[in-house]
Amino acid sequence: MFFSDPVKKLRPWAALHARTAYKPVTREGHGPDRGSRFNGSPFLADGEAWPACTVCAKPMPLFLQLDLDELPGAHAGRFGSGLLQLFYCVGDCEFEGPDAWAPFDHKTKTVRVVPADAAGAIAAPRDVGLEAKPQAIVDWRPHSECCNSEEAEQYGIAVDYERERLGHKTRFRCDALKIDTGWISQEDEDRLNEQVFNPSGGDKLGGWPQWIQSLEYPNCPECGARMDLVFQIDSEDHVPFMFGDVGTGHITQCPTHKHVVTFGWACT
C-alpha cells in the first residue's frame, strides 16, 4: 500500500543523514604535477625518494594522489591542505606477516599528506610492478547517499528481526522521528537498501563508507577520535588491483589531526 511504503517513511531520517559523495571523472594522463590522479607518478618533494615497501624494499605504486586544496563543493577545505598520497605494495608482502589490510600497519603501504608549499616536482615514471595508466581526475560528479542500516543504528535507527518459517521479516524504527515501518518483507528491505541505506560502491570522495564487513573506522593514535572517511578505493575501479577477494578500501583521517591519515580494506 502506498501509505505504508517503508522507503517513504524513512525519507525524513534519510534527509537528516544524507551526505554528498563525489565520483571522480578521469582522463588518461598525469595532469598537473600536483593534480589529483590515480596511478602513475607522484609529486615528490625535493630530495625525497619514491616510497618503498619496508618488507620487499621495492618502490610501491601510487594508487591515489588527491589535491586537498582543490576538492569540490561540500569537501572544499574539509580535509586540510596539501597532497594526500596512497602508495601500496602489490607484491606478495601481504602474505608474509604484515597486515596490509589493517589501518596503521604501514609496512607495506604509505599514506601521507605532502604539504602544499613543499618544493618539488612529479617523479619520473618507473616500473612499480603494476600495469596501470595514470588517470588524472578532471572533474567530480556529486550524488547524495546515506549509510548502511548497520551504521544507521548509530544515528537513531533501531532494527528488529523476526525469523519466520516462510522467510524473514525486518522492522525499522526511529523513535525520535516517530518512524515505524512495521514488519516488512525481504523485498521491501532490499528496496530500502537501494534507496535509503545506500552507500555507493566504487571509488569516491566522501559520502558514507560501503563496509564489506562491519563498521571499521580506525581511531586516531594521537587523540582517540574516530576517523572520518576521505576516499573510498574499490577493487579494480580506477586502480587495476584487487584487495583480497574483491575488497573495498578506505582512506580515513582524524577530524582534528589532519596529518593523521591511514588506509584499510576488507573483503568478504
SS3 128: coil
Identity of the residue, 47 or 224, whose beta carbon is nearer to Zn ion in the bound complex: 224
14 in helix, strand or coil?
A: helix
Closer CB to Zn ion, 18 or 220, in the complex: 220
Smallest gap, in angstroms, from Cβ of residue 88 to Zn ion? Answer: 9
Q: How far is the CB of 226 from Zn ion (least distance, A)?
A: 10
The nearest distance, CB 42 to Zn ion, in angstroms, is 17
User: Shortest gap between Cβ of 260 and Zn ion (angstroms)?
Assistant: 5
Let me know: does 250 contact 263? Beta carbons within 8 Å.
Answer: yes
Instruction: Using DSSP, state whether 163 is helix, strand or coil.
Output: strand
Distance CA 108, CA 104 (A): 10
Three-point CA angle 227, 232, 238, nearest 5° = 155
Distance from chain centroid for Cα 132: 20
- Structural Rg of the chain based on CA atoms: 20
Query: In this complex, which beta carbon is closest to Zn ion, that of residue 90 or of residue 212?
Result: 90
CA-to-CA distance for 113 and 87, rounded, in angstroms? 12
Name which of 174 and 260 has its Cβ closer to Zn ion.
Answer: 260
DSSP string, 44-105: EETTPPPPB-TTT-PBPPEEEEEEGGG--GGGTTTT-SSEEEEEE--SSGGGSSS-TTSTT-
Q: Which residues bind Zn ion (CB under 5 A)?
A: 53, 55-56, 89, 91, 93, 220, 222-223, 225, 254, 256-257
Handedness of CA 79, 80, 82, 85 (dihedral sign): negative
Toward Zn ion, which CB reaches closer, 147 or 254? 254
- The CB-of-61 to Zn ion minimum distance in angstroms stands at 11
Nearer to Zn ion, 41 or 110 (CB): 110
- Smallest gap from Cβ 266 to Zn ion, in A, equals 20
